Chains A and B, each alone.
Chain A
């Protein structure tokens, strides 16, 4: 289906943009699209301060339906936290300092990009 394909393209394009953005800020990318039955973590990174960061990326092509970050409900944020703990447990890192971030990306029609990084949203 065309619609689905384009949604996926937009999502993965957004994640690529987020990765570049984070790398340029001195973050080290550890994992991408880590998936278990509960769901998926978009990006796992380590901050310059050596803190594990779990990042949810939301990309939109327009703000007509609201800010991209509004799509992250309280329930979704809590699920990301559970996934983060699961990731830490899988890698035997439970107890390590971690943080949950969100990145909202708007990709305009002519290709202009705006990035909104919110740290520690939970």
Chain B
């Protein structure tokens, strides 16, 4: 028979589609045609596959070879189809014994010498295969680590085309790597590294409890970046499902290292302020890659010097902040990546950065300062519940010999507070205080009477807006959880208002 079929997976964002690879070897002049919307990398597969087959001491068919990737309407990209095409060509010639009953997918790029090279996104592909009832995945040796994170599917690692043939025709495996889910190294940072800054640390703790976004303003050198970098050490670690999801996104971006580390710590992504919209939300012309906000999924997105960002960069975050997903539209469809993160913005108080204390050293005119701050657009700031000032640490704090609170201690408090919130929200579709809808803040999740009166009075005096009213309430719930109070009182509401007083 001169017809054969293998299967593989094509990724669209995090979603994978099962792709049938059919090969027909017919009489006629030697030729090779590849059907089914291949991209450039895939069109080059012919020469790679041919060299790989010849160099594996196997016969390339000098006949009319037709390769069809179906479903035909689905655009396919990348080099991960090399291995399934090569195997299908060999099957069609009868050079490899077939056992087609097996529900199996093949993933891998071929080197000219017949070696199998790693590809991006193997984790997401194996998840998709498992969800579609596939029982076995043949993957490149270097991707074995991430692929074997998935249960309920047999993963076979191959280092070369020959290995794959051996496995398919005789069931002999090469030596598989030792299976150990390698935990990513814990970050060595700790909150106790930062001296003083008690109010900033408190604000970050509240943000960690409620999943609130936060803006830190202060002159350079006061510890904004240090604090932000240590924020991931006080938020809860990733659950198993979340860890796989996060690792899958990083695998598509090509950032999972060869041994396939599972990301267990929440990611900390800090794009430079000269970044582009595409780098921020994801994109690319053919292979669409996740952007910084998706890489920060279930973790922290930190933007230092936020007002220095080109216009449009920060505003491109509005959609992910709103919906928790980043969607990228192209002619052939819309691709979405999850993007639920805690945003931390850091900003200098003015362009020269010296507006500290009483602002004596600052050289900026008031107009310059105003322009600088206006670069953070209103709609973006609306989504940031906590806005604080970070002042230079005092001499007393710097020389204090007392031990600062460690990340472990703070994280325990955060975890306890989150448990309380979770118990309260069992009947609701959200789990974090920052996600409480406005109408519920006025009914189910009101603060104590005195606190509500205080807020209404401020509203009457036009001291706060309606939006500020709701944000203060959300933050006050996180403070109440931290203090293990059943409901925020006037004290908590006052503190919450305090936490957004940076821009007066």
List the A side residues contacting B30 at CB < 8 Å.
Answer: 67, 69-70
Is A37 an interface residue when CB atoms closer than 8 A count as contact? no
Measured between alpha carbons, how far is A107 from B27 in the docked complex, in Å? 22
| B28 and A118 within 8 A (CB) | yes
Residues in A lying within 8 Å of B, measured CB to CB: 66-67, 69-70, 72, 74, 77, 102, 118-121
Interface set, chain B 15-34, CB cutoff 8 A to A: 27-31
Besides A67-B62, A70-B62, 9 more A-B contacts (Cβ < 8 Å) are A66-B62, A69-B29, A69-B62, A72-B29, A74-B29, A77-B29, A118-B27, A118-B29, A121-B29
List the A side residues contacting B62 at CB < 8 Å.
Answer: 66-67, 69-70
Interface size on B, residues (CB 8 A): 6
Closest approach, in angstroms, between the C-beta of B30 and any C-beta of chain A? Answer: 5
Closest approach, in angstroms, between the C-beta of A15 and any C-beta of chain B? Answer: 18
Chain A to chain B: the 9 pairs with minimum beta-carbon distance, closest first: A67-B62, A70-B30, A121-B29, A121-B28, A72-B29, A69-B30, A118-B27, A67-B30, A69-B29
Nearest B-chain residue to A100, judged by Cβ = B29
Nearest B-chain residue to A104, judged by Cβ = B62
List the B side residues contacting A70 at CB < 8 Å.
Answer: 30, 62
Measured between alpha carbons, how far is A12 from B31 in the docked complex, in Å? 26
20 A-B residue pairs with CB within 8 Å? A66-B62, A67-B30, A67-B62, A69-B29, A69-B30, A69-B62, A70-B30, A70-B62, A72-B29, A74-B29, A74-B31, A77-B29, A102-B29, A118-B27, A118-B28, A118-B29, A119-B27, A120-B28, A121-B28, A121-B29
Measured between alpha carbons, how far is A8 from B196 in the docked complex, in Å? 91
List the B side residues contacting A77 at CB < 8 Å.
Answer: 29
Measured between alpha carbons, how far is A77 from B28 in the docked complex, in Å? 11
List the A side residues contacting B31 at CB < 8 Å.
Answer: 74
Nearest B-chain residue to A63, judged by Cβ = B62
Closest approach, in angstroms, between the C-beta of B82 and any C-beta of chain A? Answer: 21
Closest approach, in angstroms, between the C-beta of B322 and any C-beta of chain A? Answer: 53
Measured between alpha carbons, how far is A77 from B27 in the docked complex, in Å? 15
Nearest A-chain residue to B64, judged by Cβ = A121
List the B side residues contacting A102 at CB < 8 Å.
Answer: 29
Closest approach, in angstroms, between the C-beta of B46 and any C-beta of chain A? Answer: 13
Measured between alpha carbons, how far is A102 from B64 in the docked complex, in Å? 13
Interface set, chain B 372-411, CB cutoff 8 A to A: none
Nearest A-chain residue to B27, judged by Cβ = A118
Measured between alpha carbons, how far is A15 from B124 in the docked complex, in Å? 57
Nearest A-chain residue to B30, judged by Cβ = A70
List the B side residues contacting A67 at CB < 8 Å.
Answer: 30, 62
List the A side residues contacting B27 at CB < 8 Å.
Answer: 118-119
Nearest A-chain residue to B61, judged by Cβ = A67
Measured between alpha carbons, how far is A122 from B402 in the docked complex, in Å? 88
**Per-residue interface assignment for chain B, residues 80 to 95, with 1 indicating a CB less than 8 Å from any chain A CB and 0 otherwise:** 0000000000000000
Measured between alpha carbons, how far is A69 from B29 in the docked complex, in Å? 6
Measured between alpha carbons, how far is A68 from B434 in the docked complex, in Å? 71
Interface set, chain B 96-123, CB cutoff 8 A to A: none
Measured between alpha carbons, how far is A77 from B31 in the docked complex, in Å? 12
Nearest A-chain residue to B31, judged by Cβ = A74
List the B side residues contacting A74 at CB < 8 Å.
Answer: 29, 31
List the B side residues contacting A118 at CB < 8 Å.
Answer: 27-29
Measured between alpha carbons, how far is A72 from B30 in the docked complex, in Å? 8
Closest approach, in angstroms, between the C-beta of A122 and any C-beta of chain B? Answer: 8
Nearest A-chain residue to B63, judged by Cβ = A118
List the B side residues contacting A66 at CB < 8 Å.
Answer: 62
